Chains A and B, each alone.
Chain A
Amino acid sequence: MTPTELFLQQLVNGLTIGSVYALIALGYTMVYGIIQLINFAHGEVFMTGAYMGLALFLACGVAGAGLASVPLLLGSLALGAAGCSVLGLAIEKIAYRPLRQAPKLSILITAIGVSFFLQNAVMLIFGAQDRYVPSVVPAARWQVMGIVLTPLQGLIFAVTGLTLAVLQGVVYHTSLGRFMRAVAQDPLAARLMGVSVNRVVAATFALGSALAGMGGVLFGMYYSTINFHDGYLTGLKAFTAAVLGGIGNLPGAMLGGLLLGLLESFSAGYLSTQWKNVAAFAVLVLVLLVRPRGLLGERLAEKV
């Protein structure tokens, strides 16, 4: 391996995990943009999505690895997305909506409570052990210019890129998107203009959770193992990514996710694995010192 090949391979490694962070970060950032809530249960929604994919594979009797099946792949992504959006809707309706007028701290604590609830519910259903997740994507290995890329990595890039494009389209070119931006700016004024704030917030949760669900299915297949506490660390990193990119900003979440993945990959590859998190979070602190609103965060007018 030449130094260039090494660099490119680390780039691919970083972009893969970064794409997963980005998919989850989009959900954090959307919810924050609309109701200024840091939805700490979002990481657990992601983890539940991975288990939904696993449940489908188990139901279809897919036990071994390397079995490629397009219907199963699409089915698992659809189930992860649909299942998690229903979950997101339920969480919003049951745990957050009744508290929307309460102090911000109450709803934050509720979010942490939901996160514990989901972790333990999944543990009771699927057990506390690591579960093996079969991959339904071909297990090939592409060699391009000395670097290795798997079809699953390609799929992760594609899904993440496509998702951002679709989201941008929804937010800036549909009436739902216009409502979302209106609620984000001023919920009361939006309501006076005839926007159903509850529906818009619910739709935001559904969308964000669907992305986390797809991210979970891909994560499970990529690492081939899943555990009930996997949502915690990954969710925390995705949250970091959202803050790094500028919370409330969609391309910012994407950029933050990819950047965090690259930071981890390069610090583990060129410094040492032990220093991976230290390096990544040191950069986060530095960025926030210089740009407190994150890389792409906009200066919002203070609401009075």
Chain B
Amino acid sequence: MLTSRRFLGSICTAFLGLFLLAGCGNREPVLKIGFVAPLTGDQAAHGMDMLRGAELALEEALSRGPLIPGCRVELAALDDARSPAQAVAAAKKLASDPDVAAVVGHLNSSCTKPASAIYHEARMLHVNPVSSNPDISRQGFDNLFRVCPTDDLQGPAGARFAIERLGAKRLFVIDDLTTYGRGLANEFIKAARVMGGEILGHEGITQGEKDFTPLLTKIKAIHPDLIYFAGMFPEAALLLKQRFELGVAARFLGGDGLFEPTLITLATPAAAEGAFLTTLGADLRAIPQAGAFVRAFEAKYGHLGAYSSYVYESTGVVLEAIRRAGRKDRQAVLAAMKQIKEYPGILGVHTFDARGDTTLRTIGIYTVKNGKFEFLQAAE
């Protein structure tokens, strides 16, 4: 139905376009910034929060005057439904649209990785907000930039917290078999072993499955100190709920994929209580320069999403590159991006290393307390 709606929409747009052409004969040129995230499917909550971040960044930039004189700038938002195949289709669509000058995109590492190759081939600036798999920036793509810290930082930060702060030695690791999940789990295991942790087991679950009681029962029988889960909130919620119902005593620690309030609703607050998670970046509310963003976002949309700030930041970086380029041209925008030495954003002052990764590398640690996420500490 969505497709047919979009189809209807495109017909309307086509007619409107014809009408305008006939009316004035001279259309204002448009520069589009591509945006792709899961806008449908079980991770749509993340995707919508991300889209709002991009919209707010564009709106604020345009309120300060036009970026390129005589050229409209707008978002071209597409859905990848967290499926790598759909991500590639969306990337191809953007790459073949000459109006698209740059792209902010993809939540899941498994989507970002294949899509990035297409943006690279199209010589289009690609700023990634939150796909934290380290391999993404190790493909040698000069057009790829990333504003979040990576899992070779997040995994060890989680391991250090589990072993040193919680005193957990016997660990059981679960991941969701995705590029992100498996990558993060391996980084966690590598670091935990160095720090003297014992890995009792490492198993993968399939996204979209609902029944994890057999796995949790198995875990209950070998009573580890802590369960580490590298995956996203829908599965994490089911794991937390079933862990609670089975009475598994092991503590629960997860990665940034869990940082979404829906986690607590889906798992029920009682089952989520006391769970820990690492996030990409420090507590946004404690960063002074992020205050204006948080206020503007909450005034407009109510609740602030986990990844909204990263998309806001990515879109800001893209807009800065477009402003510097001063014209609608992929090559010029990419060249301008490479000239940006420092970008003062809401998360801090970004500089990008040779791979395109940000030098802001703080990992935050949160816990669920009284049905809400509570910031515990920042780890470098």
Contact = CB atoms under 8 A, between A and B. Distances in A.
B42 A227 contact: yes
Interface stretch (B151-159, B206-214, B339-347): B206-214
B205 A273 contact: yes
A229 B214 contact: no
B234 A130 contact: yes
A129 B44 contact: yes
Interface stretch (B7-15, B26-34, B117-125, B240-248): B240-248
A92 interface: no
A229 B43 CA distance: 13
A148 B268 CA distance: 19
Given A6-B221, A66-B270, A14 B1 contact: no
Contact of A223 (B41, B210, B217): B210
B41 to A, nearest CB: 6
Contacts of B213: 13, 16-17, 265
A1 interface: yes
Contacts, number: 100
Chain A, interface SS category: helix
Given A17-B211, A230-B210, A224 B41 contact: no
Nearest to A135: B268
B290 interface: no
A127 B45 CA distance: 11
A150 interface: yes
A124 B245 contact: no
Given A13-B213, A265-B213, A225 B44 contact: no
Interface in A195-234: 223-225, 227, 229-230, 233
Given A268-B215, A273-B215, A274-B177, A148 B208 contact: no
Contacts of B241: 223-224
B236 to A, nearest CB: 11
A276 interface: yes
Interface size class of A (residues with CB under 8 A): 35 or more
B307 to A, nearest CB: 15
A10 interface: yes
Listed residue (B208, B218, B267) with the most chain A CB atoms within 10 angstroms of its CB: B218
A130 to B, nearest CB: 5
Nearest to B241: A224
A139 B241 CA distance: 11
Contacts of B208: 229, 233
A266 B238 contact: no
A233 B209 CA distance: 8
Contacts of B262: 129-130, 132
A129 B247 CA distance: 28
Given A130-B234, A132-B265, A132-B266, A264 B214 contact: yes
Contact of B211 (A1, A13, A272): A13
Contacts of A273: 203-206, 212, 214-215
A270 B214 CA distance: 9
A90 interface: no
A283 interface: no
Interface in A248-304: 264-266, 268-270, 272-274, 276-277
B215 A269 contact: yes
B322 interface: no
A128 B217 contact: no
Contacts of B44: 127-129
A120 interface: yes
B86 interface: no
Nearest first, the 5 closest Cβ-Cβ pairs linking A and B are A268-B214, A128-B40, A13-B213, A269-B214, A1-B221
Given A150-B245, A274-B177, 7 more contacts: A6-B218, A13-B217, A128-B40, A141-B247, A264-B214, A273-B212, A277-B206
15 contacts: A6-B221, A9-B246, A10-B218, A17-B213, A123-B40, A124-B1, A130-B234, A132-B265, A224-B237, A224-B241, A264-B211, A268-B215, A273-B206, A273-B214, A273-B215
Interface of B: 1, 39-42, 44-45, 177, 203-206, 208-215, 217-218, 220-221, 223, 234, 237-238, 241, 245-247, 262, 265-270
Interface of A: 1, 5-6, 9-10, 13-14, 16-17, 65-66, 120, 123-124, 127-130, 132, 139, 141, 143, 148, 150, 223-225, 227, 229-230, 233, 264-266, 268-270, 272-274, 276-277
